[in-house]
Structure 1
Amino acid sequence: MRADARKNYTLLLSVARDVVTEHGANASMRDIARRAGVGLATLLRHFPTREALFEALLCTDLDALTQKADELETSNLPGEALVSWFREWVTFAQSYRGVVALMAAAHTNPDSALYASCAAVHSTSARLLLRAQAEGTARADMNGDDLFALMTALGWAVDQPSFAPRADHLVYLMTSAILTNPPNNDARTAAR
């Protein structure tokens, strides 16, 4: 990539992160280009679709999220690792309003720019679930697809202003439904 193209790419990602933080996943591509001081054609040359832009924005965060799962898998008991993973997911979901809906739509579409990231989150989640199931601390009647659906639902819920303050309690409720021996959680009493 030429130096000027690399500079535009970096600038566009920086501006896009700010605009998405302000306006969520429905941020205007035209507004991103305008704020970056480039034409819409320049933005679209780098990111031909909204999903391609989000893939570029999210790849670092999603890589860090899946890396965190690897750490949890080796340093925590299986049930605790699953609960911690849910908390990490909620933190991620709250950092980009509306992104969970994009991921939910992309996770079964191999043509989506977000597909690879969604597949990584899905497989990581399934692996943590299988580990907890093997230990007997998670329900045996669910699979990775079920877990991804529950994570997506939780991500959507905490993205809503009315539910965001109850995120810890919702994580507790969700993980209590999944784990056969849920950990004690002080957040459940604080949220009541």
Structure 2
Amino acid sequence: MIMRADARRNYERLLAEAEALISELGTDAPLEEIARRAELGIGTLYRHFPTREALLEALLRERFDGLRALAEELMNGPDAFESLAEWLRRFILGAGVYRGLAASMVDAIQDESSSLHASCLSMREAAAELLVRAQGAGAVRAEVTPVDVLVMANAVAWAMDRAPGDGEAGERRLSMVLRGMRV
């Protein structure tokens, strides 16, 4: 979609201010404050982003696309289980970029009307491919589903958000999840 130059500038200002405020306050940051910091009206924000989820999707699209590309790269890795584990580490780091994002992603996976749903669906497909490969290698239990993997990874990201601890805490929690998936 081609935008007028002024509309493109407004869009980019809104995204920049959303990035800053959501990084500071989390995914529930007031949309009115984003518009105010961008020196635009709330109507301009809603013209570009009709819902909070649409704004989050715009902020996260590049990260989600990167996770999809990483999954494709890891499909050729020598160890199917380690490929899945590495993807989950990167997923968790991305889910923890904004406070409250992990919960938003779990909701979006289940809500087909959410603007984030398509992006989350792409990640679920990436996780599914890595999971199927690891299951085919006999490294992951057969009953584990892609939704299970993403919900557990989101739980680790949520725990890091709510009870951060040190960097080792997240890795320890992910290790517990991975051990539970192992055959």
Give the TM bin, normalised by the shorter chain: over 0.9
* Residue among 159, 162, 168 paired with 2:161: 159
Query: Would the aligned equivalents of 2:92 and 2:154 in 1 still touch at CA under 8 Å?
Result: no
Distance 1:49 1:164 in 2: 34
Of 55-64 and 155-164, more deviation after overlay is shown by 155-164
Is residue 83 of structure 2 the alignment partner of residue 94 of structure 1? no
Is residue 179 of structure 2 the alignment partner of residue 176 of structure 1? yes
Q: Residue 74 of structure 1: SS of its match in structure 2?
A: coil
Q: Residue 139 of structure 1: SS of its match in structure 2?
A: coil
Distance 2:147 2:93 in 1: 21
Distance 2:170 2:147 in 1: 22
Q: Residue 110 of structure 2: SS of its match in structure 1?
A: coil
- Report how far residue 40 of structure 1 moved: 0.7
- Report how far residue 132 of structure 1 moved: 0.4
Q: What is the aligned partner in structure 2 of residue 104 from structure 1?
A: 106
Q: Report the identity percentage.
A: 39
Instruction: Point out where structure 2 has 5 or more consecutive residues left out of the alignment.
Output: none
Instruction: Point out where structure 1 has 5 or more consecutive residues left out of the alignment.
Output: 181-192
Distance 1:65 1:18 in 2: 22
- Report how far residue 159 of structure 1 moved: 1.4
Letter in 1 for 2:148: D
Distance 2:166 2:53 in 1: 25
- Report how far residue 162 of structure 1 moved: 4.1
Query: Would the aligned equivalents of 1:108 and 1:115 in 2 still touch at CA under 8 Å?
Result: yes
Q: What is the aligned partner in structure 1 of residue 121 from structure 2?
A: 119
TM-score, normalization by structure 1: 0.89
Aligned positions, number: 180
Letter in 2 for 1:112: S
Distance 2:172 2:61 in 1: 28
Letter in 2 for 1:50: R
User: What's the Cα RMSD here?
Assistant: 1.3
Distance 1:80 1:58 in 2: 25
